[in-house]
Amino acid sequence: MKVLTIANLKGGVGKTVTTINASYLLATGYGKNVLLVDNDQQGNCSQFFGVYGYDKPSMTDVMKRNVTAEQVIQHTEYAGLDIIPANLSLAEAEKAVLMDSVTPQQVRLREILRQVKDEYDYVLIDNAPSLGMCVINSLATSDYLIIPAKIDKFTFDGIACLLNQLKTVKEYFNPQIELLGTLITSYRRNDTNQQGAEWLKQAEKYKAFDSHIRWTDKMDESTFTAEPVMVHSPRCGAAKDYKAFVEELLRMVEG
């Protein structure tokens, strides 16, 4: 089982849509058994797949250590794609974790994922734009970090901070985690994007993917219809780009 954290300290860079579309493609296009973990209190992945709510266990219960994997994992409508949902109560749970000095704080998600290590090929974790304990839990249990990034200075600053956090987690909690790469999203063919993309690719520490995701209004539309973009608009540029990205990801992870 390969565990992938999708994170960036900057919001609005495509973390959630990348997690959704990559998970969908891995499950339906490549026959992988995939678990999507919604590790963001906004619960956008959970809303997208129709499992948002407060009547069933969620990431809140994972962080409070009062649930098993079987109790918290839900199926989606897509074969091979399951989800651990989240809701706004996750913010309160994160505060409770920080107050608990008796049991380990950083590996609570790892405890759950170990219970299903033989059931899934891939786990993709969508994260809030923060360096809170939920994100640290994600990094502490993952094999790889993927950083979606728009071409702007604020995004680049967020990447630098996240890489510093990655170094700390690697040193103290998870020596196996590596940066898989930075994925350029909302790409437009203008001078700023072209120059920024070239700079990222030349900066070795960011490990920019060859693939990048072109901007299209079809992406926003797909969130309203609750469909992966390759279902909503299979011929649009972003749908083709996400397919190329997943192919590149598989080559890197599986060889």
Give the pLDDT score at 101. Answer: 75
Strands annotated E in the chain: 2-6, 34-39, 74-75, 81-84, 122-127, 144-149, 178-187, 208-214
Both tokens of 15, joined, read: 């973390």
- 65 — pLDDT class (breaks 50, 70, 90): very high
Both tokens of 242, joined, read: 């996400």
pLDDT greater than 90 at residue 154: no
Give the pLDDT score at 12. Answer: 84
Give 177-226 pLDDT, tens digit per residue: 999 999 999 888 888 888 877 878 877 888 999 999 999 999 899 999 99
**Domains located in the chain, CATH noted:** 2-254 (3.40.50.300)
159 Cβ contact list (under 8 Å, min separation 6): 8, 9, 10, 147, 149, 182, 206
pLDDT greater than 90 at residue 25: yes
Query: What mean pLDDT is predicted for residues 59-78?
Result: 96
Higher pLDDT, 46 or 191: 46
Count of residues in the chain = 255
Give the pLDDT score at 255. Answer: 76
pTM, 2 dp: 0.94
Query: What mean pLDDT is predicted for residues 78-104?
Result: 90
**Amino acid identity, residue 96?**
A
- 103 — pLDDT class (breaks 50, 70, 90): confident
Give the pLDDT score at 87. Answer: 96
pLDDT greater than 90 at residue 11: no
pLDDT greater than 80 at residue 228: yes
Question: How far is the C-alpha of 99 from the C-alpha of 36, rounded, in Å?
Answer: 27
Give the pLDDT score at 145. Answer: 98
Beta strand 122-127 with 34-39: parallel, antiparallel or unpaired? parallel
